[in-house]
Amino acid sequence: MDPDQERIAHLERIADDLSEVVADQAGRIAALERRVAALLQRAAEAEQAGSGGVTLGDERPPHW
């Protein structure tokens, strides 16, 4: 195999590896987008239910 063919083979392997990485990241991003959408929906439902939203850890409860 001449040097040009070796270089092309190496570049093709790199392109295939990067393609797999991009496909994996796309799947992870899609899953995270679904989770964020679900969390936003839950937050909106909680707000509509009048729960008062999220209590932060440094806030005192109203009875204090």
Q: Nearest Cα to 26, choosing from 15, 38, 18, 37?
A: 18
pTM above 0.75, yes or no: no
Dihedral, CA atoms, 42, 46, 49, 52, nearest 10 degrees? Answer: -170
**Dist. CA 57–CA 42, nearest whole Å:** 19
Alpha carbons within 13 angstroms on the beta-carbon side of residue 17 total 6
Type of residue at 45: E
Q: What is the pLDDT of residue 25?
A: 98
* Tokens of residue 39, six digits: 């969390």
Q: What is the pLDDT of residue 46?
A: 87
9-56: per-residue pLDDT in tens?
Answer: 999 999 999 999 999 999 999 999 999 999 999 999 988 888 555 556
- pLDDT tier for residue 63 given thresholds of 50, 70 and 90: confident
